[in-house]
Amino acid sequence: TGLRKHFPVRGGFLRRRVGEIKAVDGVDLTVHRGETVALVGESGCGKSTTGRAILRLEAPTAGEVVFHHPEHGPVHLESADARTLRAVRPHLQMVFQDPFASLDSRMTVGGIVAEPLVINKAATGQELKDRVAELLTLVGLRPEHANRYPHAFSGGQRQRICIARALALDPDLIVCDEAVSALDVSVQAQILNLLEDLQRRLGLAYLFISHDLAAVEHIADRVVVMYVGKIVESGPVEQIYTAPRHPYTEALLAAVPQPDPRVRTRPKLLTGDVPSPASPPGGCYFHPRCPHAQPVCATEAPEVRSVGDGHLSACHFADALPLAGATAAARPP
């Protein structure tokens, strides 16, 4: 609630603070048990920083992050002391984008998957070995893979190892930060299916951070769209894809590659770059790139408001614009 993460900008000879990058600037979102919420937007919109601030990998500048612990009730992560964080962390895990950088090449796969169990004193001896074998099987690898090193595995297999490590302590929430973005498309589908299967079996919730709207449509229950540190639209996946209510979402959907050659490609709506969060434009942050912008958009920042059941939009003209969804053009038949 009201999550903010601002980074100081320093300049000049004395490295004085000359400004601030508002990487995350007032984000409200909820992930329910067993649910997949996708956080989407272009690079540099604050998605990863939001995920990291939620898990306290970065200390938030302001706002609340409340985890409803199954036994201990609500825990305020933003102000939790080291002891509380240690107790809660097993419930909150992360899978990173690059499966080549996020595994220690000098550790065996078994050692990597066992590490969270060892650190948290959750298992030792034969019990530890059995649990590692069980975790590897759960993600579609084999128990004997435990003795090998990460370099012996492909990108998709490495991401399975990362998922096994994340599952070791029976988490409730996994933040997947671009977890399939570095993989080949066919491998992406396998990993997405694995994540869905694990969710059904283990009751996991995912915060699925991605710039890939095709992957998001496959996996998400709800979609949250971020632009320059703020949420501009959120709602059920079906509504976001068929009837978006924010021009930025429309533009993102129009940029999804069209797999069917018989369907005419839609004109590109997204031009230019994401503005720097150190000096965002006035009014609606999207106005310099928005094909629907009106004079008011340059001067007044739109409020987030309800535009339907569980559907929010921050656009002055959310009710008036005829925005195109992905149904007609970008969805495969």
Interacting residues toward ligand SF4 by CB under 6 A: 246-247, 284, 286-287, 290, 292-293, 297, 302, 315-317
Which residue in 36, 48, 157, 313 binds Mg ion (CB under 5 A)? Answer: 48
Contacts of 237 (CB under 8 A, 6+ apart): 38, 216, 217, 220, 221, 222, 223
Cα–Cα distance for residue pair 206/31, rounded to 1 Å: 8
Nearer to Mg ion, 48 or 313 (CB): 48
Cα–Cα distance for residue pair 29/24, rounded to 1 Å: 12
Question: Three-state SS for 101?
Answer: coil
Contact of residue 46 among ligand SF4, Mg ion, none (CB under 5-8 Å per partner type): none
Contact of residue 243 among ligand SF4, Mg ion, none (CB under 5-8 Å per partner type): none
Cα–Cα distance for residue pair 229/45, rounded to 1 Å: 5
Instruction: Indicate if the alpha-carbon torsion angle 309, 175, 173, 59 is positive or negative.
Output: negative
Contact of residue 297 among ligand SF4, Mg ion, none (CB under 5-8 Å per partner type): ligand SF4
Shortest Cβ distance from residue 249 to Mg ion (Å)? 18
Cα–Cα distance for residue pair 150/317, rounded to 1 Å: 51
Shortest Cβ distance from residue 43 to Mg ion (Å)? 6
Torsion angles phi and psi, residue 216, rounded to 5: -65, -40
Nearer to Mg ion, 205 or 274 (CB): 274
Nearer to ligand SF4, 206 or 317 (CB): 317
Cα–Cα distance for residue pair 90/70, rounded to 1 Å: 12
- Residue showing the smallest CB distance to Mg ion in the complex: 48
Q: Which stretch binds Mg ion (CB under 5 A): 47-55, 112-120, 165-173, 311-319?
A: 47-55
Shortest Cβ distance from residue 254 to ligand SF4 (Å)? 14
Nearer to ligand SF4, 90 or 288 (CB): 288
Please list the helix, strand and coil fractions of the chain in percent, rounded to the nearest 5, in that order: 35, 20, 45
Nearer to ligand SF4, 208 or 248 (CB): 248
Which two structure tokens, joined as six digits, stand for 269?
């709506």
Shortest Cβ distance from residue 316 to ligand SF4 (Å)? 4
Shortest Cβ distance from residue 131 to Mg ion (Å)? 31
Contact of residue 48 among Mg ion, ligand SF4, none (CB under 5-8 Å per partner type): Mg ion
